[in-house]
Every structure is written in C-alpha cells, then in structure tokens.
Amino acid sequence: MSPDTSAAGPAAGQPPRSPSHAVEVDLLVVGAGPTGLYAAYYAGFRALRVAVVDSLPELGGQITAMYPEKQILDVAGFPSVRGRDLVEGLVAQAATADPAYFLDRTALTLAHVPAPDGGSERVVVGLDDGTEITAGAVLVTAGIGKFSPRPLPAGEGWLGRGLEFFVPSFAPYGGKDVVVVGGGDSAFDWAQHLEPIARSVTLVHRRDAFRAHERTVAEVRASGVEIVTRAEVTALRGEHLLEEVDLRVDGEPRTLPAQALVAALGFVADLGALREWGLETDKRHVLVDSAMRTNLPRVYAAGDITEYDGKVRLIAVGFGEAATAVNNAAVDVDPTAHVFPGHSSAL
C-alpha cells in the first residue's frame, strides 16, 4: 500500500483528494500502483463505477516512491520504459474510467452489509479519515503492503546526510563517488543507472552470490562499476555530510571515498490493517484462487500481494490478474453480467 512517508498531499499534476464523505461505487481498488491503475481502467471498460484508495500521496505505488527513473524491461510492448513514463501512461489510461481517487489515506476496516433494497450484499471499507466507501466488490492491489527499508546498521544518523534508501532522481548523484550496498535487483539497477553520471560507483555485497537478474549482473560487471564482495560497511564518516565509507573486506579494513551511499537492502513489509479483515494469507501475501478471489466474499486481490501455485511477481502478470479479478467481480456487482465481455479491440 505504501512505504512509510511523511508527505502531506498529492504532488502537482496528481488528482486531488476527494473530500471525506460516504461514497458508493461498484468496485473499490485498494492500491494505486500499476496493477491498481490498470484495474481502474479495466473497471471502466466493464462500465463499473470505480474508486481507488492508496496511503501514498501520489499515484504509481512503488515505482513512484522508489524508482521513477528506472528503466523497466518486462512490460509487453515496451522494450524499455522509464518508471515515471509507465505510470503517466497508466494514469491516462485509468482516466477513461473517471475513477474517484482517495490518496494519502489508508483502508482500515472492512465489513459486509446487506443492501438496503434487499438485493445483494455490499462491502463497506472505512478509511483512516472517516470516509466510508460502499462497493459491490473490493480488489486489493496493495503490492507488498506497507513497507519500510531494512536499515544499514552502520548508517544510523546518516539519513539525509549522504545515506539514502531510494533513488527517485539520478541528478543529485552527478559527479559524486557513490557506494551502493546490496546484491538484489534494486542495488544492481541503481548501480547501472548511476554509473554514467557519477564519478565512481562501487557496489558492496556481503556474499559472492547475487539475487539480481543475471542479465543485469552481467551488464554491471562489464561496466565501470567496481563490485566488492565478502564485504560489509562498518562506518560512515564525515564532518557533517558523508565523505568516506569504511568497509571490512575478507576481514581486512578498506576505506572508500563516498559522498553518497545507497542502502538497497530490501524491505520489511507489513500487510497492516489488511490482516484484520480476515484475509487468508501466508504471512506475507494474500492467497487467491484462479479467479483472483480471496477467502472473503466479494473481495479479490491481484498483483504482488497475491500468492498461488506458480505465482510470478512481474508487473505484466499483475495486469493480467487485474483483468481476471475485475471480470469476475463484475458478476458479483451484476449477476446478469458475463465473466468475459469480449475483447476491447472489438468495440
């Protein structure tokens, strides 16, 4: 749903917050990342009234919060697309559904209630500002839930003084000596993207093996990035801003010049209030069936938050899951509807 953030409201160009009140829609989407935005578009394609809630102040989920400048390589039809450009396209696509956005707000409670006219039951979701949204169905697309970066033990007190956990813009790193700590996709992606503009980039990892995609690892090895393995950061030093990073490499001390350190050590994820809804989980993810149904009636899930046999966590997979969930939810909203409405290209 979001990383920890102190932002007060949506950024310029984003839809404004809707006022606090009772709202009725056909489908409520919880999570405004790529999967949620595509779900909003597809709900419009199914002629459903849709609302989207996210505890981040901006649309785009993890892409906007963490890597808007990153080139994304696994979206069909785009050999490479910058994160912010993908989000911009998804927002424009979702706009065709005229969704109501509730940004910088967290979904807290969920209850099933009978319809006042004696019809099918409805789902009521309460937000942290008192807003209540009543929907025919709910689709949870909350990514990895509420997340916060894993700390760098030696970096305590250095956040904002040279230590960062995300790289929302590459420009501040121009001409600097940069140390990237980690062995996963984010560490290698940021090292690769920073190498052309930084004075130097050193990637530090505690093991010889990496979790990053093999192709990216090979490209970084072939670049000007220095890779230091079997190493750990022992201290950050400088008068006020970061100037040097101390390492222990194979038990031996080494000091690197560094005006910036990116700690890409992964995240601690928390499903937060979603756990209180009674959703069946495997502790980290929501379990769904082939229709993307959860164990709760009229509640679906799609994207990285889901788990099922053979699950692959890719943006492209999330798009397909969103369409599957919306098509099945459409029948909950209107029992006379068909699960498969036909192809959009046939309209």
Q: What is the pLDDT of residues 312-341, one digit of tens each?
A: 999 999 999 999 999 999 999 999 999 988
Residue owning tokens 């002629």 = 47
Residue 6, pLDDT score: 33
For residues 195 and 174, is the Cβ–Cβ distance under 8 A?
no
Residue 259, pLDDT score: 98
> Which CATH number applies to 2-147+267-346?
3.50.50.60
Residue 272 pLDDT > 80: no
Reported confidence tier of residue 95, pLDDT bands at 50, 70, 90? very high
Dihedrals φ, ψ of 71, to 5°?
Answer: -85, 125
What is the DSSP pairing of strand 163-164 with strand 260-263? parallel
Reported confidence tier of residue 11, pLDDT bands at 50, 70, 90? very low
Domain boundaries, the chain: 2-147+267-346, 151-263
Could you list the residues known to form a binding site, using ranges.
35, 54, 62, 67, 107, 147, 304, 345
Could you list the residues known to form a binding site for FAD, using ranges.
35, 54, 62, 67, 107, 147, 304, 345
Residue 139 pLDDT > 90: yes
Q: Identify any residues that bridge with 101 across adjacent strands, giving them in sequence order.
A: 52
Fold matches, 2-147+267-346 and 151-263: yes
Describe the chain by its helix, strand, coil percentages, rounded to 5. 25, 30, 45
Q: Identify any residues that bridge with 292 across adjacent strands, giving them in sequence order.
A: none
Q: Name the fold adopted by 151-263.
A: FAD/NAD(P)-binding domain (3.50.50)
Q: What is the pLDDT of residues 211-238, one digit of tens each?
A: 988 989 999 999 999 999 999 999 999 9
What is the DSSP pairing of strand 306-307 with strand 286-287? parallel
Nearest one of 313, 264, 282, 272 to 34, comparing CA atoms: 313
Task: Give alpha helix (H) positions in 53-174.
Answer: 61-66, 83-95
Integer-rounded Cα radius of gyration of the chain = 22
Mean pLDDT to the nearest integer, 77-86: 93
d(CA 69, CA 34): 15
Residue 9, pLDDT score: 38
d(CA 333, CA 161): 51
Number of Cβ within 10 Å of residue 97's Cβ equals: 22
Nearest one of 296, 236, 294 to 261, comparing CA atoms: 236
